[in-house]
Structure 1
Amino acid sequence: MMRSIGGLAASLTVVLWITVAVSVFAAIAYLNRISVINDLLDFRGGLGAYYDLVQRGEDADDLVSVASGLGTVCSLTILVLLIIWMWRVAKNALDAGRRDPRFAPGWTIGGWFIPLANLVIPGLILQDLWRGSDPSIERGDPMWRLRAKGSALVGWWWATWVLSLVATVRITGDGDDRDYFERLRVWDSLSAGGQLVRIAAAILLLLVVRRITRRQEALFTGRPVVA
């Protein structure tokens, strides 16, 4: 009997769209702080105007902190839902006769928590889940891994996801000198760009989850894959 994955896929879809909205908000927050930094570095006004600029800077920092916090909540929620969904899809694949996968179902959990390897293993597992859900290959076919094709969609998602992790950087420490603010401006620019990549990754993951879910449902029901 197929384990239910439709509800998890729907929940992931909702959270991923929320993540897109949060990433847009975060990009705006970073760009806003860049604008404040530019004004600060070019400042030539009086004391009153300087205090106003300092207040803008504090508000910009608060906005970035809120965006960062919301992004963390979204990431953790996605991780939990995705792990559960992947585990169920992997177990369903075994029940469909997809024997001897490269990774046992337990790796859908453990693969996320091994440093450095977690940049590779989950992507490989998703490729296997894509192949294993191919409804054109009969259940129980011992040659399924050779017959099934991988997905460029999965590859693009994993590439953008890893890139978003690399691009979303953090500056450590504090300061009020020109060098500090120039570094902060550069890193905020990278982080704003990282949010755009994060948006692409979220949309691609949404498509991956939807496609695999529909393929596996078609595998078990014998019905055509819903576009």
Structure 2
Amino acid sequence: MSFENNVRSLRTRATLVKIFAWTFVATTVFQMGALGYEIFKPPVDIVVSAGPVTEPAFPLWAMIVGIAALILPISILGLMLCALVWVYKAHRNLADENVDLDYSAGWAVGSYFVPFINLIVPMRAMRELHNRSHGEVPELAHSPVDDVAAWWTAYIIGIVLSLGLLLKVTVDAATNIVFLTPAWMEFAMAAFASLLFVISAVMLVKLVGAITQAQSEGNHAWKAFE
């Protein structure tokens, strides 16, 4: 495939990543706001009348919340798949231009699915991809990149907090052990984890855009002069 076709293909994948990422950000922020409203809203006084009881009309708010709850998992799945496809293509583009990489396209993607390895290698592969796409020499392929560090740190801490909340819910439901924590504390932890995922998604969009632009401009063309 020609350089122009490689770039065009990468741009298409980058656009899909951005669409799903911003959809995820919007629905996550909305859902956390809706959850906070339901938890902290003041109680409603109930007035009992002597007249016949009628079913309340289905509120528009409940319908919007339901739609957001449906869109959120779709956006997460779409973002994961499109991001992995983009990672693979971005690595393949450099390989096609004979740019040496420590991490192949297949391993850059596959490392996400290997326990413990997935805590380190995806970040290192993204850092190398960023640096080499911007024309860094092999000796500087793993130089620190602030955006990569921010993306991965937010993601990992968000995962840890989410797993902690999941463990608490599982223990409460499956055993006689009950962790008595106030609703506001659980909401605060869930909101913080969601915020970290939002930050991670925003930083991923920034990285995808920067790397795609760098490859489009051919910033790695120095390789031809080695």
Measure, in 2, the Cα distance between the counterparts of 1:221 and 1:132. 7
Matching of residue 26 in structure 1 with residue 31 in structure 2: yes
Matching of residue 202 in structure 1 with residue 201 in structure 2: yes
User: For 1:1-227, what aligned pairs fall within 5 Å after superposition?
Assistant: 1-2=2-3, 3=6, 4-35=9-40, 70-99=71-100, 101-135=101-135, 144-148=137-141, 149-168=143-162, 169-170=165-166, 171-172=169-170, 173=172, 182-219=181-218
Counterparts in 2 of 1:183 and 1:111: CA distance versus 1, 3 Å: farther
SS at match of 2:21: helix
CA RMSD of aligned residues (A): 3.2
Could you tell me which amino acid in structure 2 is paired with residue 31 of structure 1? G
Q: Does the aligned pair in 1 maintain the 2:28–2:198 contact within 8 Å?
A: yes
Q: Does the aligned pair in 2 maintain the 1:12–1:206 contact within 8 Å?
A: yes
Q: Residue 84 of structure 1: CA displacement?
A: 0.8
The percent identity for this pair of structures is: 20
Q: Residue 166 of structure 1: CA displacement?
A: 2.2
1:114-158 C-alpha deviation (Å, 9 max, x unpaired): 1232222211110111122024x5xxxxxx221454421111111
Give unmatched runs, 5+ long, in structure 2: 49-60, 222-226
Count of aligned residue pairs for this structure pair: 195
Q: Residue 90 of structure 1: CA displacement?
A: 0.6
Q: Residue 221 of structure 1: CA displacement?
A: 9.2
Measure, in 2, the Cα distance between the counterparts of 1:180 and 1:71. 28
Question: TM-score of the superposition, structure 1-length normalised?
Answer: 0.72
Measure, in 1, the Cα distance between the counterparts of 2:197 and 2:154. 7
